[in-house]
Structure 1
Amino acid sequence: MPDRPEIVCICGSTRFLHQMRRANRDLTFEGVIVVAPGEADELITDEQKAALDALHLRKIDLADRVLVVNPGGYIGESTRREIAYAHAAGKPVSFTGPVPSGQ
């Protein structure tokens, strides 16, 4: 038996916030520790966006695996960068939607 629950980092476009929240809830009820993108209720500056992007990479570092929330197969630039980072770090990556080519 593992000495701690699995840790999953959720990635994806903030346009899918509702779906990411649902994935977070479902994983949590499965006994998984979930780390997810930060949320903001207002527009953020480019500097804040860069800081949040860097912080999310550290969340990937903490995770055992990455779950990409990608309804309809959509993956934006930031999420592509996170997927590449996860692969480079040897983290397994799975998708809720269609798997992009080359994955």
Structure 2
Amino acid sequence: MPDARPLTPEERLADAKRELHLPRIVVICGSTRFMAEMTEADLRETTAGKIVVKPGCDLKSPHALWSDPAGAEALKARLDELHRAKIRLADEALVVGDYIGDSTRAEIAYARSLGKPVRFAHPEVDPGA
């Protein structure tokens, strides 16, 4: 009898989530100009019984942590990588906002490349529709 193939990291994560009886995890994507809409979506998804992950920093709003332009650029790259990790962790993505820029378009493409369902608060902006 041939050896069973080893599980992929994604399969091991899915198994662990099932074993732990975790609720679905939704990642909120979109431009940080829609932080208020993200907060509202977080509220709605949480009250629907889902675990929510979303951007935690709005680099468009002034803050001492990203006041230095060189440091802000490096931070943006780290935050983009962190958000991709949130997408990998999630069971589905929810895109908020009625505008899809390059970063959000890349997040949508990444989620779809991983086979994650992607929902839109404004379905008319779905770049794949």
Task: Give the TM-score of the pair, scaled to structure 2.
Answer: 0.72
Q: Percent identity?
A: 51
Q: CA deviation at 1:58?
A: 0.1
Q: Which residue of 1 aligns with 2:126?
A: 100
Aligned to 1:69: 96
- How far apart are the structure 2 equivalents of 1:36 and 1:102? 22
Structure 2 gap ranges (5+) = 1-17, 67-71
Partner-residue secondary structure (3-state), 2:23: coil
Deviation of 1:101 after TM superposition, in Å, equals 4.1
- Give 5+ residue unaligned stretches, structure 1: none
| Alignment partners' CA distance in 2, 1:62 and 1:42 | 29
Mapped to 2, the partners of 1:63 and 1:37 lie a distance apart of 13
- Matched residue count: 100
SS of structure 1 residue aligned to 2:26: strand
Q: Which has the higher helix share?
A: 2
Q: Which has the higher strand share?
A: 1
1:99 Cα deviation after fit? 3.7
Q: Is the Cα–Cα contact under 8 Å of residues 100 and 125 in structure 2 kept in the other structure?
A: no
Q: Does 1:11 align with 2:37?
A: no
Q: TM-score scaled by structure 1?
A: 0.89
Decide which of 28, 33, 42 is 2:62's aligned counterpart.
42
In 2, the alpha carbon distance for the partners of 1:12 and 1:66 equals 10
